[in-house]
């Protein structure tokens, strides 16, 4: 059994390999009459797309999303129709030959071996299906979801830890995130973090990070008991992103130290 679909009422099925001709998704269950064009999706994709700084993959992709179905313009601008929304992004910089040397190697910490063990075959070019490139279509689908959510639900996020360097909770400033190449949630840490990361790069290594998200305006009652509770769905979604190994919600592990005395 394969499982490339996320969500229940609003369901996203993604497809595509890192170095295939394209990647894409089908959003099924989107409510009708939501105004939607590619211009609603592109700003999110532009924020994510590679090649923007020396700190990210140097692959050159415009990550231009095309909407192939599910919207209709009856004179007042394109709106969703309740039918499946197919979104497609062409892979423009798929350099398959670059991977010749590691075609037969299993990279530590990647899904290479797992795919080979599970399926007996894998598209080794850039990680194939297991590439983080898959997250591009999540971003596109998320752009549709944002339109459904409207303005009431506000979501902000940023990097709050890079390797051993943390931003103190009281210093987190989500407004700073898109003003620096590291998506750091504080302008103050950027010079030091860039120096640190340049050192990691020069050592031919890489380093992890922690991302914080703040979601405001969520009505009580979203999600569904018991196995679809909001915490559970969010945790699964986060854990399905490449390299994510931990999820905390609210007080997270700190809740272990909370007692009624703290109230």
- The yes or no reply on residue 261 touching a second copy (CB under 8 A) is yes
Least CB distance to a second copy at residue 33 (A): 6
Q: Is 169 in the site for a second copy (CB under 8 A)?
A: no
> Residue 93 CB, nearest distance to a second copy (Å)?
16
Q: Does 212 bind a second copy (CB under 8 A)?
A: no
Work out whether 192 is an interface residue with a second copy (CB under 8 A). Answer: no
Phi, psi of 16 (to 5 degrees): 120, 150
Total residues interacting with a second copy, rule: CB under 8 A: 107
Whose Cβ is closer to a second copy: residue 213's or residue 258's? Answer: 258
Binding mask 14-53 for a second copy (x = CB under 8 A): xxxx--xxxxx-x-xxx-xx--------------------
**For residue 19, what are its two tokens?**
């170095």
Burial category of 67 from C-beta neighbours within 10 Å (exposed 0-12, middle 13-18, buried 19 and up): buried
Decide: is 183 part of the binding site for a second copy (CB under 8 A): no
Cα separation, 71 vs 81, whole angstroms: 6
Radius of gyration of the chain (CA): 20
Q: Residue 170 or 257: which CB sits closer to a second copy?
A: 257
Of 62, 123, 148, 153, the one binding a second copy (CB under 8 A) is 123
- In the sheet that 5-6 helps form, which strands lie side by side, from edge to edge? 5-6, 11-16, 22-28, 85-90, 65-67
Tell me how far apart the alpha carbons of residues 191 and 139 are, in angstroms, rounded to a whole number: 28
Contacts of 164 (CB under 8 A, 6+ apart): none
In whole angstroms, how close is the CB of 66 to a second copy at the nearest point?
Answer: 8
- Distance in Å from the first CA to the final CA of the chain: 47
Rule CB under 8 A: is residue 60 a binding residue for a second copy? no
Q: Which of 258, 248, 246, 243 is nearest to 109 (CA)?
A: 243
Rounded distance between C-alpha atoms, residue 50 and residue 45, angstroms: 10
Least separation in angstroms between residue 137's CB and a second copy is 10
CB within 8 Å of 228: residues ≥ 6 apart? 8
- The CA-CA-CA angle for residues 64, 71, 221, to 5°, reads 95
171 binds a second copy (CB under 8 A): no
Using rule CB under 8 A, residue 100 touches a second copy = no
Q: Which is nearer to a second copy, 52 or 208 (CB)?
A: 208
Q: Which stretch binds a second copy (CB under 8 A): 39-47, 55-63, 121-129, 143-151?
A: 121-129
Binding characters for a second copy, 125-164, by CB under 8 A (x = yes): ---xxx---x--------------------------xxxx
By CB under 8 A, residue 249 contacts a second copy: yes
């Amino acid at each position: 059994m394969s499982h490339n679909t996320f969500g229940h009422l609003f369901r996203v099925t993604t497809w595509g390999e890192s170095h295939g001709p394209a990647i894409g998704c089908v959003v099924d269950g989107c409510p009708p009459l939501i105004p939607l064009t590619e211009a609603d999706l592109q700003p999110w994709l532009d924020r994510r797309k590679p090649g923007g700084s020396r700190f990210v993959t140097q692959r050159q992709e415009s990550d231009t999303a095309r909407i192939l179905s599910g919207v209709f313009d009856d004179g007042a601008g394109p709106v969703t129709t309740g039918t499946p929304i197919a979104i497609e992004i062409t892979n423009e910089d798929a350099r398959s030959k670059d991977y010749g040397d590691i075609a037969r190697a299993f990279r530590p910490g990647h899904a290479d071996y797992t795919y080979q063990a599970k399926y007996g075959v894998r598209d080794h070019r850039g990680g194939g299906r297991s590439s983080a490139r898959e997250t591009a279509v999540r971003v596109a689908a998320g752009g549709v979801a944002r339109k459904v959510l409207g303005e009431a639900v506000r979501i902000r996020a940023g990097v709050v830890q890079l390797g051993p360097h943390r931003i103190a909770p009281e210093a987190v400033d989500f407004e700073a995130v898109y003003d620096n190449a590291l998506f750091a949630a504080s302008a103050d840490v950027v010079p030091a973090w860039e120096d640190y990361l340049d050192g990691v790069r020069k050592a031919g290594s890489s380093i992890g990070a922690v991302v914080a998200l703040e979601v405001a305006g969520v009505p009580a009652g979203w999600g569904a008991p018991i196995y679809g509770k909001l915490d559970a769905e969010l945790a699964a979604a986060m854990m399905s992103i490449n390299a994510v190994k931990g999820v905390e919600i609210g007080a997270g592990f700190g809740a272990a130290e909370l007692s009624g005395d703290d109230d």
